């Protein structure tokens, strides 16, 4: 029988791999796991208590907030506030970043950006949802109030990122820049246990994930790529399978393990894209790259985009290396034809 390795033990054992091995990042990751368990409890009670459905308000994105969005947001903010490693947070559910202004929190060396419950509208129909988080070292002076510049950093500056998938089981997957590891929550002991060590995404796969209902509004090159995915070619295993859950974390997780590409492109009616660079795209890009995959906005590497605002949006192509490259070549070919 193999030894059970808990997330807490794993974090402590790997602390030497952190760029700044002070113990604070270890504690912060532990805080995230605790908040995840709280959210998992509430998600599993959905339908039994009055936490389903819309709250009756919209967030800064113009999207209708679900009751569980607010519950999850509050749970993570409380965890970061009491943990004392964080001087401020930015959340998809809040208009602006939140500064922790007590004297202890001002000493915190990290900021966290997160989407507390991605795909929360799917809860009503019992579809998998998730939390996404991204951790940066602050650029402002410890002991002072966090500033906007602490949050507007390129994805290349992330010190850790991860997601929690609430599905048939609850998993926490994260990276600190030294590979990707996944942990499954064992409800019998209330601990996340190592279940997917050193995750490596296949270089290619047979799954493409895109809302094909929007294809007529997309770049012609993307239409060409989807046609390529649909075309039969026994030598390459095509046609590929179209698999689109509509819950980013669930789609990303499946493709990470099995091989595939996830696409949420810019469209005529959403020229800047729909997904948020800081809360969704950067953290999942960090994980994808650490697992051997790629992430771009259709033109450049996601993690090299210089953010200008907290809720900045972008197009998104993420997944197996060869599949992302093929999608990019289709876009570039289309652009070349336009300019002939």
Work out the number of other CB atoms within 10 angstroms of the CB of residue 200: 13
User: How many Å apart are CA 287 and CA 134, to the nearest integer?
Assistant: 10
Binding-site positions:
92, 115, 117-121, 211, 244, 280
User: How many Å apart are CA 132 and CA 165, to the nearest integer?
Assistant: 9
User: How many Å apart are CA 34 and CA 164, to the nearest integer?
Assistant: 12
User: How many Å apart are CA 307 and CA 153, to the nearest integer?
Assistant: 7
Residues 225/330, Cβ–Cβ less than 8 Å: yes
**211 alpha carbon, distance to own chain's centre:** 18
User: How many Å apart are CA 319 and CA 294, to the nearest integer?
Assistant: 6
Binding-site positions for substrate:
118-121, 211, 244
Residues 295/264, Cβ–Cβ less than 8 Å: no
User: How many Å apart are CA 104 and CA 324, to the nearest integer?
Assistant: 44
Residues 293/319, Cβ–Cβ less than 8 Å: yes
Binding-site positions for Mg(2+):
92, 115, 117-118, 280
Alpha-carbon Rg for the chain, nearest whole angstrom, is 20
Crossing angle for the helix pair 321-338 and 220-230, to the nearest 10 degrees: 130
């Amino acid at each position: 029988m193999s030894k059970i390795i808990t997330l807490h033990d794993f974090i402590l054992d790997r602390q030497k791999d952190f760029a700044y091995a002070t113990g604070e990042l270890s504690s912060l990751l532990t805080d995230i796991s605790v908040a995840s368990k709280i959210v998992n409890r509430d998600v599993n009670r959905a339908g039994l208590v009055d936490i389903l459905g819309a709250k009756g308000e919209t967030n800064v994105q113009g999207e209708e907030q679900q009751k569980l969005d607010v519950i999850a947001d509050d749970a993570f903010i409380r965890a970061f506030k009491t943990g004392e490693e964080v001087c401020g947070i930015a959340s998809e559910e809040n208009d602006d970043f939140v500064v922790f202004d007590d004297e202890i929190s001002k000493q915190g060396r990290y900021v966290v950006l997160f989407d507390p419950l991605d795909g929360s509208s799917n809860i009503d129909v019992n579809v998998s949802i998730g939390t996404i988080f991204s951790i940066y070292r602050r650029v402002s002076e410890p002991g002072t109030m966090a500033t906007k510049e602490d949050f507007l950093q390129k994805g290349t500056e992330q010190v850790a990122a991860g997601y929690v998938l609430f599905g048939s089981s609850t998993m926490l997957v994260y990276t600190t820049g030294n590979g990707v590891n996944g942990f499954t929550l064992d409800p019998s002991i209330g601990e996340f246990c190592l279940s997917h060590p050193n995750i490596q995404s296949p270089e290619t796969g047979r799954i493409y994930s895109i809302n094909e209902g929007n294809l007529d509004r997309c770049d012609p090159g993307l239409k060409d790529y989807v046609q390529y995915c649909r075309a039969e070619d026994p030598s390459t295993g095509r046609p590929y399978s179209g698999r689109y859950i509509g819950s980013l974390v669930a789609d990303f997780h499946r493709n990470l393990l099995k091989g595939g590409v996830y696409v949420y492109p810019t469209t005529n009616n959403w020229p800047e894209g729909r997904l948020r660079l800081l809360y969704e795209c950067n953290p999942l890009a960090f994980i994808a790259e650490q697992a051997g995959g790629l992430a771009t906005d259709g033109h450049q590497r996601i993690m090299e985009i210089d953010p200008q605002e907290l809720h900045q949006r972008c197009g998104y192509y993420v997944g197996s290396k060869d599949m992302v490259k093929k999608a990019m070549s289709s876009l570039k070919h289309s652009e070349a034809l336009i300019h002939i």
